[in-house]
């Protein structure tokens, strides 16, 4: 099961155009916020790290990417070192984006 | 402002700094038929709430400037009424309790489906509509001012509700109440609350106009219709076209005039005096009397058919003695007004003075109370009105049957008034020179006669008497005080 279980619910609730828009914004958010996490670690800026983790948790929560959201919330709570947290978040984010690509492909079978 | 009672078409402000969340909320809300505004910070939300006045706010708690709880506090502090739904990732009881304590009406847990959002929002909007309706009804029941009336007593609330209910209709209104209870004010309230408010309100005192002039006052006349009719003149009926015609003291109208009025009420048409030409107007009738109109019908002094034409919606104004706390509310209102007009420093009444006012019977009703407070303000000064400043008759004679205080201001018997009282519509023929052979009397005597006559004419209403005489009410009070001191008026 992908980490985008809630996306199926969104497909019922939204028009195809809105669904593409929301998932497109999610993709942008993931790329922007994982980048922000890396920058924060490089700068040893824990405040910026938590802020980016919070934003990514919210974005993941919105589309039902539960594992990614949980990892972000653990990172916000300093449950794991920042670098380790980023590693896990990166992996889960990549997985979520892959799932998203598959989901969107099913949504629109034309190349 | 959208209809807060409707669950569709509401204005919803989404306060969310995560773009995915914000776009998802926008798409879901738009799909539910709502208008949506997106903002990313608490400060932007406050600014949008001030100008856009959303029906509901979908609020994320963690925001970049200050949090959602503080935003709710600021909204409340600014009196911005809206339904706040907190959006949270945490479904714990603590979060719910904290959100509700802060003023949210509900909370919704992320991620939420369209159906969940729809139900939560509909409930919040319905609750808001109920709260708004409750506040409106409560304000109506508790109101202490209504189109110039001061008072929150139960019988006045009933009068306010009747006036409000009848205002949109064209139905004739019949106002009853003792002298001084505010019948003309009620008539004006009917007019001002009605769709006719932009047109004329024409008041005619049937009891103060000579019988032979009344028809001309109501219907107008053409040039040459009678001696002194040197030009065509419109009457009250024509002046009130599209508006309201108030016939005060309708019980004083002569029977022959009642026949003509009945025809006018039935057809909306009339002929000016001296003319055979019919004129049609659209007039709403409001009548008043201080007598029991049915008793007047039974006594043969008022036509039964006219009674049933005019007595469609009765409004009964209670006497002041039946209005409880209204006495002090009105007294304080007049004290503030007159102190400002007269340049006095009065801020209120002493407890003893208030007790005297509250326990007196006020047979002359609000008009008498108005005169008493004016009298106090003109003759005294200080921070507060003390018991010894209250007119003696009020101090010593509590009880509903006391008739003395009017005599304290002016004597009961006075010479006949020389002129008619008609507001807006002036008499057709104004008195000019003294009649030949009329004895010449000292000016001071004539002044006293005229002032006393004006007071009698207006039912001891000093401000109205002063207005007729085109002098300041203070002058009337000072003259009365001086004449009483000189023994020219009966002592109290």
Residue B427 reports pLDDT greater than 90: no
Taking contacts as CB-CB distances below 8 angstroms, the residues of chain A near B16 are 58
CATH class of B321-409: mainly alpha
Written as six digits, the tokens of B472 are 């300041």
Q: In whole angstroms, give the CA distance from residue B280 to residue B238.
A: 9
What pLDDT is stored for residue B486 in this prediction? Answer: 78
Residues B417, B449: contact at Cβ < 8 Å?
Answer: no
Residues B15, B59: contact at Cβ < 8 Å?
Answer: yes
Which comes out higher in pLDDT, residue B377 or A8? B377
Which among B70, B74, B78, B8 has a CA at the least distance from the CA of B36?
B8
Taking contacts as CB-CB distances below 8 angstroms, the residues of chain A near B20 are 22, 25-26, 29, 58-59, 62-63
A10 in B contact zone (CB under 8 Å): yes
Residue B95 reports pLDDT greater than 80: no
Q: In whole angstroms, give the CA distance from residue B132 to residue B136.
A: 6
What pLDDT is stored for residue B110 in this prediction? Answer: 84
Residue of A nearest to B111 (CA): A62
Count CB pairs under 8 A between chains A and B. Answer: 68
> Can you list the pairs that B477-483 forms with residues at least 24 positions away whose Cβ atoms lie under 8 Å?
B477/B374, B477/B375, B477/B378, B477/B379, B478/B378, B479/B447, B479/B448, B479/B451, B480/B409, B480/B410, B480/B451, B481/B379, B483/B448
CATH topology of domain B149-318: Rossmann fold (3.40.50)
Residue B15 reports pLDDT greater than 90: yes
pLDDT tens profile B158-209: 999 999 899 889 999 999 999 899 999 999 999 998 999 889 999 999 988 8
Averaged pLDDT, B241-252: 94
Chain B: give the shortest CA distance to residue A25, in Å: 5
A25 in B contact zone (CB under 8 Å): yes
| Cross-chain Cβ contact A22/B18 below 8 Å | no
Taking contacts as CB-CB distances below 8 angstroms, the residues of chain B near A3 are none
Which among B308, B307, B218 has a CA at the least distance from the CA of B269?
B218
Written as six digits, the tokens of A77 are 């709570």
Residues 74-93 on B with a CB inside 8 Å of A are 89
Indicate the helix (H) or strand (E) that contains B283.
Answer: none
What pLDDT is stored for residue B181 in this prediction? Answer: 94
Q: In whole angstroms, give the CA distance from residue B337 to residue B376.
A: 13
Residue B455 reports pLDDT greater than 90: no
Which of B19, B110, B115 is nearest residue A25 as measured by Cβ atoms? B19
pLDDT band at B431 (very low <50, low <70, confident <90, very high): very low
A47 in B contact zone (CB under 8 Å): no
Q: What is the mean pLDDT of chain B?
A: 85
Taking contacts as CB-CB distances below 8 angstroms, the residues of chain B near A93 are none
pLDDT tens profile A27-62: 999 999 999 999 999 999 999 999 999 999 999 988
For CATH 1.10.8.60, the residue range(s) in chain B are 321-409
| Three-class secondary structure of residue B299 per DSSP | coil
CB atoms within 10 A of CB B232: 14
Report the CATH number of the B11-139 domain: 3.40.50.2300
Query: What residues form DSSP beta bridges with B102?
Result: none
Which comes out higher in pLDDT, residue B227 or B452? B452
Residue B361 reports pLDDT greater than 90: yes
Task: Sort B467 into a burial class: Cβ within 10 Å, 0-12 / 13-18 / 19+.
Answer: middle
For CATH 3.40.50.300, the residue range(s) in chain B are 149-318
pLDDT tens profile B306-325: 999 999 999 999 999 999 99
Written as six digits, the tokens of B324 are 């409880």
How far is the CA of B212 from the CAs of B76, B209, B217, B245, in angstroms?
Answer: 65, 8, 10, 20
What pLDDT is stored for residue B184 in this prediction? Answer: 93
Which among B265, B208, B214, B251 has a CA at the least distance from the CA of B236?
B214
Highest mean pLDDT among B227-241, B389-403, B444-458: B227-241
Please name the residue that has the structure tokens 């304080």: B332
pLDDT tens profile B462-480: 777 887 887 877 788 778 8
Torsion sign across C-alpha atoms B457, B458, B462, B464: negative
Q: What is the mean pLDDT of chain A?
A: 86
Mutate to test the interface with A, among B14, B18, B91, B116 (most CBs of A within 10 A): B18
Averaged pLDDT, A100-110: 73
Which among B38, B63, B58 has a CA at the least distance from the CA of B117?
B58
Question: Hey, where are the domains in chain A?
Answer: 18-105
CATH topology of domain A18-105: 1.20.120
Residue B128 reports pLDDT greater than 60: yes
pLDDT tens profile B247-292: 999 999 999 999 999 999 999 999 999 999 999 999 999 999 998 9
Residues B163-190, buried b or exposed e (16+ Cβ, 10 A)?
beebbeeeebbbbbbbbbbbbbebbbbb
What pLDDT is stored for residue B328 in this prediction? Answer: 96
Lowest mean pLDDT among A56-60, B48-52, B88-92, B427-431: B427-431
Averaged pLDDT, B370-384: 93
What pLDDT is stored for residue B18 in this prediction? Answer: 92
């Amino acid at each position: 099961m992908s980490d985008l279980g809630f996306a199926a619910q969104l497909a019922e609730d939204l028009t195809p155009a809105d669904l593409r828009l929301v998932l497109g914004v999610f993709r942008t958010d993931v790329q922007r916020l994982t980048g922000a996490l890396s920058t924060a670690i490089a700068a040893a800026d824990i405040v910026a790290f938590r802020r980016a983790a919070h934003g990514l948790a919210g974005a993941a929560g919105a589309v039902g990417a539960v594992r990614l959201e949980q990892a972000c919330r653990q990172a916000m709570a300093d449950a794991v070192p920042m670098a380790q947290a980023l590693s896990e978040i990166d992996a889960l984010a990549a997985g979520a984006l892959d799932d998203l690509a598959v989901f969107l492909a099913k949504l629109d079978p034309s190349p | 402002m959208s209809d807060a009672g409707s669950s569709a078409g509401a204005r919803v402000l989404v306060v969310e700094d995560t773009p995915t969340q914000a776009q998802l909320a926008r798409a879901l809300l738009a799909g539910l038929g709502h208008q949506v505004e997106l903002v990313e910070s608490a400060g932007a939300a406050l600014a949008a709430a001030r100008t856009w006045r959303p029906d509901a706010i979908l609020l994320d708690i963690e925001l970049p400037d200050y949090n959602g709880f503080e935003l709710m506090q600021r909204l409340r502090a600014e009196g911005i009424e809206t339904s706040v739904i907190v959006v949270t990732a945490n479904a714990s009881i603590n979060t719910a309790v904290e959100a509700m304590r802060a003023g949210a009406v509900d909370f919704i847990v992320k991620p939420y489906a369209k159906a969940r959002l729809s139900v939560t929002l509909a409930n919040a909007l319905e609750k808001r509509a109920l709260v708004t309706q409750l506040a409106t009804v409560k304000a109506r029941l508790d109101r202490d001012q209504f189109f110039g009336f001061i008072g929150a007593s139960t019988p006045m609330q009933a009068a306010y509700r009747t006036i409000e209910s009848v205002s949109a209709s064209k139905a004739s209104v019949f106002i009853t109440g003792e002298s001084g209870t505010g019948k003309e004010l009620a008539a004006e309230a009917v007019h001002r609350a009605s769709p006719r408010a932009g047109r004329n309100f024409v008041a005619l005192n049937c009891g103060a106009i000579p019988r032979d002039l009344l028809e001309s006052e109501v219907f107008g006349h053409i040039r040459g219709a009678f001696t002194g009719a040197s030009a065509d003149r419109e009457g009250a009926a024509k002046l009130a076209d599209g508006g309201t015609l108030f016939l005060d003291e309708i019980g004083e109208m002569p029977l022959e005039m009642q026949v003509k009025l009945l025809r006018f009420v039935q057809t909306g048409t009339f002929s000016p005096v001296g003319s055979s030409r019919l004129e049609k107007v659209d007039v709403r009738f409001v009548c008043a009397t201080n007598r029991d109109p049915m008793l007047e019908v039974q006594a043969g002094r008022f036509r039964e058919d006219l009674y049933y034409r005019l007595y469609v919606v009765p409004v009964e104004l209670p006497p002041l003695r039946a209005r409880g706390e209204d006495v002090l509310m009105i007294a304080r209102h007049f004290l503030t007004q007159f102190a400002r007009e007269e340049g006095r420093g009065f801020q209120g009444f002493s407890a003893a003075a208030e007790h005297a006012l509250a326990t007196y019977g006020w047979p002359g009703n609000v008009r008498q109370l108005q005169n008493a407070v004016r009298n106090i303000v003109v003759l005294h000064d200080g921070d507060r009105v003390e018991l010894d400043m209250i007119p003696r008759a009020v101090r010593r004679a509590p009880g509903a049957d006391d008739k003395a205080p009017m005599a304290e201001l002016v004597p009961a018997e006075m010479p006949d008034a020389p002129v008619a009282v008609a507001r807006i519509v002036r008499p057709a023929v104004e008195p000019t020179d003294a009649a030949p052979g009329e004895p010449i009397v000292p000016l001071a005597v004539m002044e006293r006669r005229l002032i006393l006559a004006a007071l009698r004419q207006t039912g001891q209403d000093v401000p109205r008497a002063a207005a007729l005489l085109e002098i300041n009410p203070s002058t009337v009070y000072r003259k009365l005080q001086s004449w009483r001191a000189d023994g020219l008026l009966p002592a109290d």
